[in-house]
């Protein structure tokens, strides 16, 4: 697909500076882009490439002041990074519109209901009483269990598994290998040292505009629902246990584990490899540093925490400063002990 600078400007509400008829058919990084490609400049450290790049069109900030001659067409916007992300999203949507229809071999139960412009790839499996919205894309190896509902414009990438009774909202993207609705880790210890499985009869609800990375596991609730709220973004390799709630527009980086029945607020940011114990609450706006171990509720909104066990971020910085000085402190203590011993 080829677009002119004028057409792209309409998509991202940009001002054209240069040849409005210049056209592109692909994307490239500003330092590597070729003729016929579009790039963007948001980070000032890459500005030098603006004057040497072969890109045909570049998205830049309105505030950029040119320091030399350029040979490319500029699209000026308030925020180049955000505009580029918007453009990529539109490009993806246009490309996905070409994917419509049912490929064979695939299995779709007679009781399944499919909306308009749905794509089902070969080797997908849609079970009884499934309800699929409009413009949904289901790729190879996806399994959708009984009574699952999937909202409009949702994309299930290869190998996604949605267990029975789960509800997926609109505009949701779930990447390859993720499992939604597997059993929560519920076992009752018995007097003879064995464990009895507790049936997990709840479900998972994923609200609108959520994106979930590859190889996540989101367990179904013991009773009720495990919930991923509207606009949340989950990276790859995350474990969400039974009855957890992840708040609206919360962002979770890779390799995080959240134990059962914990409630994470809205607009929370959780760094990679953090662990959150069960049955606690995390207040709205909390920032949790990577590798932190959170063992108690965070009740004050917009708190930054770090460490294991997690404490105030500023407290942890002071503690780390003391750690770095321990060798020198030990040396001074030994010198003092030696002097005292000589008296």
Mean pLDDT on 256-268? 98
- Residues 151, 137: contact at Cβ < 8 Å? no
Q: Domain 101-313, what architecture?
A: 3 Solenoid (2.160)
Q: Domain 3-96, what architecture?
A: 3-Layer(aba) Sandwich (3.40)
Q: Is the pLDDT of residue 9 over 90?
A: yes
CA distance 28 to 23: 14
Q: Is the pLDDT of residue 343 over 70?
A: no
DSSP 88-127: HHHHHHHHHTT--EE-SS-EE-TT-EE-TT-EE-TT-EE-
Helix (H) or strand (E) segment spanning residue 339: helix 313-342
Task: Tally Cβ neighbours within 10 Å of residue 267.
Answer: 17
How many alpha carbons fall within 13 Å on the CB side of residue 187? 7
Q: Where are the domains of the chain?
A: 3-96, 101-313
- Report residue 166 as tokens: 């789960």
| pLDDT tens column, 58-100 | 999 999 999 999 999 999 999 999 999 999 988 887 877 778 9
- Residues 286, 298: contact at Cβ < 8 Å? yes
115 vs 45, 79, 101, 226, 309, CA distance in Å? 47, 36, 11, 26, 49
Same fold, 3-96 and 101-313: no
Q: Is the pLDDT of residue 55 over 70?
A: yes
Residues contacting residue 9 through CB under 8 Å, at least 6 positions apart:
15, 16, 20, 75
- Residues 226, 219: contact at Cβ < 8 Å? yes
Confidence label for 130 from pLDDT (cuts 50, 70 and 90): very high
Q: What confidence score (pLDDT) does residue 98 get?
A: 75
Residues classed as catalytic: 242
| pLDDT tens column, 282-324 | 999 999 999 999 999 999 999 999 988 777 767 767 777 777 8
Q: What confidence score (pLDDT) does residue 51 get?
A: 96
Average of per-residue pLDDT values in the chain: 94
φ/ψ of residue 177, rounded to 5: 85, -5
pTM (predicted TM-score): 0.82
Mean pLDDT on 119-132? 98
Q: What confidence score (pLDDT) does residue 159 get?
A: 98
Share of the chain above pLDDT 90, in %: 86
Q: Which of 20-24, 87-91, 162-166 has the lowest mean pLDDT?
A: 87-91
Confidence label for 49 from pLDDT (cuts 50, 70 and 90): very high
Q: Is the pLDDT of residue 337 over 90?
A: no
């Amino acid at each position: 697909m080829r677009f002119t600078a004028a057409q792209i400007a309409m998509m991202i509400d940009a001002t054209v500076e240069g040849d409005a008829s210049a056209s592109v058919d692909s994307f490239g990084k500003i330092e590597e882009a070729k003729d016929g490609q579009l790039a963007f400049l948001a980070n000032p450290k890459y500005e030098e490439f603006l004057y040497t790049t072969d890109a045909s069109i570049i998205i830049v900030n309105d505030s950029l002041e040119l320091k030399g001659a350029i040979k490319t067409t500029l699209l000026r916007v308030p925020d180049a990074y955000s505009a580029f992300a918007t453009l990529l999203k539109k490009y993806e949507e246009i490309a996905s519109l070409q994917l419509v229809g049912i490929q064979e071999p695939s299995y779709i139960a007679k009781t399944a209901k499919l909306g308009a412009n749905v794509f089902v790839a070969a080797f997908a499996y849609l079970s009884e009483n499934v309800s699929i919205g409009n413009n949904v894309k289901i790729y190879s190896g996806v399994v959708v269990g009984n009574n699952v509902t999937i909202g409009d414009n949702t994309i299930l990438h290869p190998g996604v598994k949605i267990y029975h009774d789960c509800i997926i909202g609109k505009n949701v993207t779930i990447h390859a290998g993720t499992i939604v609705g597997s059993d929560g880790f519920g076992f009752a210890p018995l007097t003879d040292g064995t464990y009895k499985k507790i049936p997990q009869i709840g479900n998972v609800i994923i609200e609108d505009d959520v994106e979930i990375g590859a190889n996540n596991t989101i367990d179904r609730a013991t009773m009720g629902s495990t919930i991923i709220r509207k606009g949340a973004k989950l990276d790859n390799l995350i474990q969400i246990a039974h009855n957890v709630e992840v708040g609206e527009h919360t962002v979770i980086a890779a390799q995080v584990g959240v134990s059962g029945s914990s409630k994470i607020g809205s607009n929370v940011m959780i760094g990679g490899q953090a662990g959150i114990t069960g049955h606690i609450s995390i207040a709205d706006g909390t920032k949790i540093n990577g590798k932190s171990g959170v063992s108690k509720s965070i009740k004050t909104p917009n708190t930054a925490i770090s460490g294991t066990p997690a404490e105030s971020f500023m407290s942890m910085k002071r503690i780390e400063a003391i750690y770095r000085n321990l060798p020198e402190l030990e040396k001074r203590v030994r010198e003092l002990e030696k002097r005292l011993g000589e008296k």
